[in-house]
Structure 1
Amino acid sequence: MSNNKRQLVLNVFLQRFGHHPAGWRHPSSTDNGRPDLAWWLKAARLAEAAKFDTFFIADFIGRSGKITPDTGRSGASYQFEPFTLLSAIAAVTKHIGLVATVNTNYDHPYHLARKMTSLDHLSGGRAGWNVVSSFGDHTAKNFGLKEPRSHAERYERAEEFVELTKALWNSWDDDAFDHPDRAAGQFYDPQSAHPVNFEGKYYSSEGLLDFPRPIQGYPVFVQAGNSETGREFAARVAEMTYCSATSLGVAQAYYADVKGRMAKYGRSEDQLKITPGLSVVVAESDQEAQDRFGELQDLVDFSNLEFGGFDLSQYPLDGPLPDLPYQSGENGKGRFQQQLELARRENLTIRQLVLRFRVARGHLQAIGSVKTVADLIEQWFAERGADGFNVVPPYLPQGFEDFTRLVVPELQRRGIFRTEYQGKTYRENLGLDRPGNPNTVQKLQRAAA
């Protein structure tokens, strides 16, 4: 189903204490580090009441076993495993899309296919998969993986992972289990089954998925990546991207570049939603919002500074960023380059770079009144810098509550954001087509021949 009227997409990506590194130290934060289901259920209900498209769960899987004097100085979010948490959220929501992050380096396509189609059926067709292929050293060690994987290899593995997962979802016709013939003793028609016989470079699988095809055909494919390889993957596979940009010009260039690659894969541009991250502090006035943000900035810890694999603590905090080559392996190259370009372009000191880039994780910052924030959102949307935004509140719970209470009604008043959900599934609400089963098409073609 394609929606002819372009509509702003709003997703929310929450971490327990917010995305600002000092969020856990803010006076409004009273939680400890223990997982709390009630907190997540309340947040999901709030997002759905505000008509958000997506409730997104990241999965920063694995922890380093290296203990240093600085260990424990950050408000790490030790949270639930995404599928377990989203299954609980599915039971208390009806409309909002539920996106789980799954890293292709630490899972298997068959296992993922079972979990994702289960979530799609549990939620009534609201599942999405954030396809991640990062390969951090400490996480690899958690899983006993010793061989490094290059940036290109990780994306190649991810594409094959997605290919096999789709094949498993397509191993049943959509209606395979809808018409049991009790009189004849036939539970399902054997012709509705399409056994998989997949032999790839990295994965292999033979047989059938032990669960019906997802309600949506496939869950919505989500991806994040600013690199050349990441952009090509987005154009070929993704239906939503979480990207980062700090200026409209950079965002417009990314938007045009990625969408311009889609035609060669037989895809229309409206079948990919580009949603940059948006770090928001909103209040009744610009000054009040700046004062609130200033409270967070004053709490930033500069004791442990790393940049591209280098320890910056030996350099003056108020001096320029030194010329250092990237040393952190294959992960984070895009973010490293963004920070480097920003520091050089605006002649920032190390302190200024941290306060400009690190606190918002490279995302666009909107700090101001309702009008200031809404104007920025509308401009980026209207001028094709974004199809919407992935809202990343810097502190919680007040940061997200203020956005839903103040900004969302203004976007609705301007006619660019929904006042009610229109579709039954996550795909329908995003205006994305439902993928058919190619095996079913082939079966019908054979029958008609």
Structure 2
Amino acid sequence: MSPAPRPSGTIRLARWFQMHPAQANAADEPLLHGLLLDPEVDPRTIERASWSAIRETCRLPAPDAAPEAVAAWLEGDRFALDLLHSTQLTLLEIERPLTRLRRWLLLESRRAAWPAVCDALIAQAAHHGGTWLFAPDEADALAGAPDFAPAYLPPPPGMATPDYTDPVTRAVAAQYSDWPYPVWQRAMTAPSERLSGIRTRMGAAPLPANARLLVAGCGTGREAQRLAMSAPEASVTGIDLSSASLAWARAHCDAPNLTLERRDLHTAPEIGPFDHIASSGVLHHLPDPESGWAALTEALAPGGTMRIMLYSRIARLQVQAARRLIADLIDRPVTADLIRQVRARIIAADFQPIIDSVSFYSMGGIHDLLLHRHEDPFDLPRIGRALDRFGLELLGFSLPGREATAAYRAAHSGDPAVRDLAALHAWERGHPRLFNGMYDFWCTRRT
């Protein structure tokens, strides 16, 4: 297969590397290092491509290299150090030698000789939250190395459990209070992602003056920040159940047109109407997803648009298979130790569909992926029934990447907008990993 053509523009290029990390090569290292340090670029988008470029230089230590050799490489590798400081590592092949290195630094008391390495491991732990595995002798040794303990166990958020009355709502809110998710560094949006332009391309009404936008279930604020950046002329409100997630959002969101509020999305009509509502990965965690969707529809202004993202039942089959591997752990109280046990079980089974997921590399990610208190995934017929029930018109689906979109359109020339649910349902059955990243679609009120 020939390499995918590279786009121009900083943000479009970063997104290209996110979709094609294996196509990064040694010659790309200066470009990727520049993108990593660019304040307009989300470093998560180029993390895997960056490690691919480093790998292509042949300077990565061998998998069985001695820890001292790994330390010598890392101490002098500015790009690798910057990667570990800037964003979460999501490749097990890199994590494994670094985990052995961390053990050696702790148990052999060699930390003073490798200060840059120690600082990078501590910074990386703040990103992954303490997911890397360690043995009992390491846990015992941490008491004598308080300066290095954060490389193993970074401080938790320590937020109180919310006081919601519905048991599922309370459990979900408590989960994100324990481990806010997702943890992010920079929001990123390109000119082509301006909300007004997307609505026009989708065939929706123009965004009105003084538009009001809602992010229902804003979590740690990344989507709310991006939406506020993509519609600077509008006022954006982000709501969420979790105090800890909102605290993270307030610390990281700086858009002047964004307001954050702790609120259940079922109460959205009380603060509406809104000209656009976004809800990403939220409705399927509700006790009754359709009731939450109905509340958002009630909060939608005439001519308003919705962008909804939902788990696919078909794509989640691999998650269900992974859960069978950890069936004896699922009903236990979720602690950091339990999450590490889950992770160890998946690694031992070499279950690649989960190991390949970026969610596998942080505490909040594993909790959300494999141990969530409640989820109710959708399929396309169910989405169709909900659209009919709520009087919503489907504007179209966003497929993951240009290649996936081109393949679907080539097979369905009569559906360029990707809104034929029957055709898309048949296509998904033949491509069961198509919506690993969730269904992503736009809709509007029927006129």
TM > 0.5? no
Identify the structure with the greater helix proportion: 2
Which structure ranks higher in relative contact order (CA pairs < 8 Å, sequence separation ≥ 6)?
1
TM-score of the superposed pair, with normalisation by structure 2? 0.30
TM-score calculated relative to the size of structure 1: 0.30
